[in-house]
Structure 1
């Protein structure tokens, strides 16, 4: 029941935010683009909440992060994924994670969009690396400074930041470089899916 209510809230919030944020062509926002963004934001939230034990904390494999590769198919996904991350952190984490996690996702999606045409052996591997790097650095530092009692530990803060960053980065590699790249390949190799994800 809780997940269902949050899902409805996420869809409505995503729909309204995307309606305001998407660039307009001839005074109109494409209905397809609007719906895609709202649905992706909601899917991100639902995946995080349903898989909550894996979605939050220093050791995490946030399956929803695979969606960070969707900007490969259009700039509108930057909004959808970032909004989804914001709402997922708002519902399931702390205000610190709402701020820093959302910033990391936004930056990652922006750079992923810039790398959208690069391929290694036909795979969107370069586009999968920004989420790994931004989350490893930003969330790694966040976890160390705000959620670790580093004053009670003998290791220096910089070493704890690196350790937490590596932990977050490994989870992001699984989510983005494995699952996300596979998702992009699936969409690109299926005509019907590609039309759904790219139709203007």
Structure 2
């Protein structure tokens, strides 16, 4: 039963991430991006199933995004690393930080490589978009889910 719950949670999180990213495609891709779906990167604080869920959701979203294998592989691995680090954060207010830092660096490099955009400016824009998604949207989500975590995230 625990494995089934884990798989269902991971699948749901992945599907929601992919759908949200694609639904908001105009602001989900590019040098200046705010992936609304990145608000979900707080979910590893509640369930380890969010780690593979976010990873698979990001793979699907990046396939749709059209930036090719570099983004599909390295962008998705950045999300995997950020989700794992969020899971390990000792304090609630730190949970959204890994996606800001990891994606700012990795996606900044990816966009620099693909489009020859200025590296540090691109990193800063991506990190700013991540701050909006993870702290302005994700942190209130984390605080709101805190009340219901035992009912929602049983594993």
Q: TM-score range by the shorter chain?
A: over 0.9
2:45 is aligned with 1:72: yes
- Structure with the bigger RCO (C-alpha within 8 Å, sep 6+) is 2
Shift of 1:34: 1.7
Give RMSD over aligned pairs.
Answer: 1.4
Give the match for residue 88 of structure 1: 61
2:3 is aligned with 1:30: yes
Alignment of 1:8-19 (within 5 A): none
Q: Following the alignment from structure 1 to structure 2, what is the Cα–Cα distance between the partners of residues 182 and 93?
A: 31
Q: Which string of whole-angstrom CA distances, capped at 9 and with x for unpartnered residues, describes residues 21-64 of structure 1?
A: xxxxxxx6432222111111001111011110010111000000
Which structure has the bigger radius of gyration? Answer: 1
Give the match for residue 140 of structure 1: 108
Identify the match of residue 60 of structure 1 among 26, 33, 36.
33
Q: Following the alignment from structure 2 to structure 1, what is the Cα–Cα distance between the partners of residues 24 and 151?
A: 26
Identify the match of residue 111 of structure 1 among 72, 85, 88.
85
Unaligned regions of 5+ residues in structure 2, if any?
A: none
Q: Which string of whole-angstrom CA distances, capped at 9 and with x for unpartnered residues, describes residues 69-91 of structure 1?
A: 10001211100011100111012
Shift of 1:92: 2.3
Q: Following the alignment from structure 2 to structure 1, what is the Cα–Cα distance between the partners of residues 57 and 48?
A: 15
Conservation of the 8 A alpha-carbon contact between 1:63 and 1:175: yes
2:101 is aligned with 1:127: no
2:123 is aligned with 1:174: no
Give the match for residue 101 of structure 1: 75
2:142 is aligned with 1:184: yes
Q: Following the alignment from structure 2 to structure 1, what is the Cα–Cα distance between the partners of residues 66 and 36?
A: 16
| Residues paired across the two proteins, number | 154
Conservation of the 8 A alpha-carbon contact between 1:59 and 1:167: yes
Shift of 1:137: 0.5
